[in-house]
Amino acid sequence: MKRLIVLLSCCLLLQLQMQAQPTLSWEMLAEVKLESKHDEQARAFYSQIVPSEAVRKLDGKMVIVKGYMLPMDVKDGYYILSAFPNSSCFFCGAAGEESVIELKFKGSPRTYKMDEVVSLKGRFRWNQKPFELPYILEEAEPYP
């Protein structure tokens, strides 16, 4: 009887942990406003993304997101996750920068192929630094 109670408790805790990690949708990330900013050091104007309140509330939280893998530097393990395949992504197509997430993996990532569809879990960050991608997924790892 004790073992059954322990097993059920573990299952309940696992289910609660899985529910605690919201799925981040690209539609949610796309709800942005652009603010014109000036960087004194660079002596340049740039547009900064200001996401919706719902996205700002996820800053620092563990999330799950699914998208297309874009290998930037496989040797150094630098990847970007995109809402769209390479042919229509932010860099090559007409998508906005709100459609990509910089990935900072937990440990060394395996080698991913261009446009490989993956689900990842990690800590979501809204990056406000100029001339960098607006979204970052830290501690990224494959999910499930």
Q: Give the pLDDT score at 92.
A: 65
Whether residue 75 is contained in a domain is answered as yes
CB atoms within 10 A of CB 132: 11
Q: Give the pLDDT score at 72.
A: 94
Whether residue 56 is contained in a domain is answered as yes
Q: Give the pLDDT score at 66.
A: 98
Percent of the chain with pLDDT over 90: 60
Whether residue 7 is contained in a domain is answered as no
CATH of the domain at 60: 2.40.50.870
Domain containing residue 120: 22-142
Whether residue 9 is contained in a domain is answered as no
pLDDT at position 139 over 90: yes
Q: Give the pLDDT score at 10.
A: 42
How many independent structural domains does the chain possess? 1
Whether residue 60 is contained in a domain is answered as yes
27-31, 41-45, 65-69 — which is least confidently predicted?
41-45
Q: Give the pLDDT score at 134.
A: 93
What are the pLDDT digits (tens) for 62-77? 999 999 999 999 999 9
